[in-house]
Structure 1
Amino acid sequence: MNRRTAVAVGLALTTGLALTACSSDSVPRLEVTGAFMPQPVSDMAAGFLLVKNSGGTADRLTSVTSSLSDNVSIHETKNNTMRMVTSFEVPAGGELDLERGGNHIMFTELKQQPKRGETVSVELHFEKADPITVDIPVKETTYNPKKQ
């Protein structure tokens, strides 16, 4: 192999490695854990979960859909006031924590009352990442893993 060919091969390998590193870092890598729904006592329910992003790029949770309700929204809680929002950031290398007393998924006009021990399937929609389907376990009404 002559010097020119060796330099060209080295440059191609270096460029390929750099592009691979960039492309794997340029996408969000999302994982959902800790999902739960307290058993609803009316025609409304709330869902809670943690979205971890181990990727090098931020993403946004833009909506949630479920067969449990045609009216599923995401809500922010600030100063004890709840309001619907259009999205939540999932920071690069960080997490979005939807928890009791804080930001959450809100289901209104439930089509049925899920009972403790059942699961509710939801699909989380993101700005960049593919949708993620999560089976949320229904827990007792007072369930709060942060206080256990």
Structure 2
Amino acid sequence: MNQFTLNQFLLSLVLLSLPSLSSISLPIPNGTQLVGTSLLYEDATLRVWNFTLPPGESTSLHTHMHDYTFVAIKPSQLEVYEENGERLFDFRAEGVLKFEVEGDFLVPVGVELPFDVPRTHRAVNIGEEEYWEMLWEDKTTGIKEEKRVEL
């Protein structure tokens, strides 16, 4: 386990030990993609999200800019949709999953999925229970957005 992954794991343990994650939420900076329900922690290299999705509910369409890892605390069956609304596949979101940004796609690390996952997508909880995960983004990786400079 590399140092960054160990730090992510330890931070998740600390956050999970808190009495109520629902009461914690940092302000979300402008331009930040909403890849979770609430932002729990952020520094120059790491962003940690709490994410819940009730049965039958959908995430917003969002784009992943950084490599990320999530721990499914309450697993469920999720259906993944492309930006144009086309259904790609469904899968059991459980355990620990890591994705790396490569161009317009997210490449799963250590697991195979039936289709490529586009960076821009949405997910629907098609399971019978609420889905809950902790997600952390490695801000040192992924797509670096260029800032436009007006001359």
Return the TM-score normalized by structure 2: 0.28
Return the TM-score normalized by structure 1: 0.28
Larger helix share, 1 or 2: 1
Higher Cα radius of gyration:
1
